[in-house]
A = this chain, B = another copy of it.
Amino acid sequence: MNTQQTILFHKYGGPEVIEVYEIPLLEPSEDEVRFKVNAFALNRADLLFINGHHYTLPEFPSRIGSEATGIVDKIGKNVTKFKIGEKVTSIPFYTQNHGVQGEYAIVPEIFLTHSPDNLNDVEACSIWMQYLTPYFALIEIGKVQPNEYVLVPAASGSAGLGTLQLLKYAGAKVIATTRTKEKAAFLKKAGADYVVIMDEKSLSKTINEITNNKGVRLIFDPIGGSFLNNYTEVLATNAIIFLYGLLSGEITEVPIVQMVRKNAIIYPYSMFNYVVRPDMLERGKSFILKGIKEGLLHPIIDKIFSFNDTRKAYQYMESNNQKGKIVVKLN
Contact = CB atoms under 8 A, between A and B. Distances in A.
Interface of A: 53, 55, 224, 243, 246, 251-254, 256-257, 259-261, 263-270, 273
A267 B268 contact: no
A55 B232 CA distance: 14
Nearest to A269: B260
A260 B270 CA distance: 6
30 contacts: A53-B257, A55-B260, A55-B261, A224-B254, A224-B256, A243-B254, A243-B256, A246-B256, A251-B253, A252-B253, A252-B254, A252-B256, A253-B253, A253-B254, A254-B254, A254-B266, A254-B268, A256-B268, A259-B268, A260-B268, A260-B269, A260-B270, A260-B273, A263-B270, A263-B273, A265-B265, A265-B266, A265-B267, A265-B268, A266-B266
A264 B254 CA distance: 14
Closest 6 CB pairs of A and B: A259-B268, A266-B266, A252-B254, A263-B273, A256-B268, A260-B268
Greatest chain B CB density within 10 A among A53, A224, A256 is at: A256
Given A246-B256, A254-B266, A265-B266, 4 more contacts: A224-B256, A252-B253, A260-B269, A260-B273
Most buried by B among A246, A260, A273: A260
Tallying the copies of this chain within the complex gives 2
Nearest to A252: B254
Nearest to A261: B55
Nearest to A253: B251
Contacts of A269: 260
A263 B273 CA distance: 7
A268 B266 CA distance: 9
A228 B267 CA distance: 16
B246 A55 contact: no
A60 to B, nearest CB: 20
A253 B266 CA distance: 11
Contacts of A257: 53, 55
A103 to B, nearest CB: 32
A258 B214 CA distance: 32
A81 B109 CA distance: 63
Contacts of A261: 55
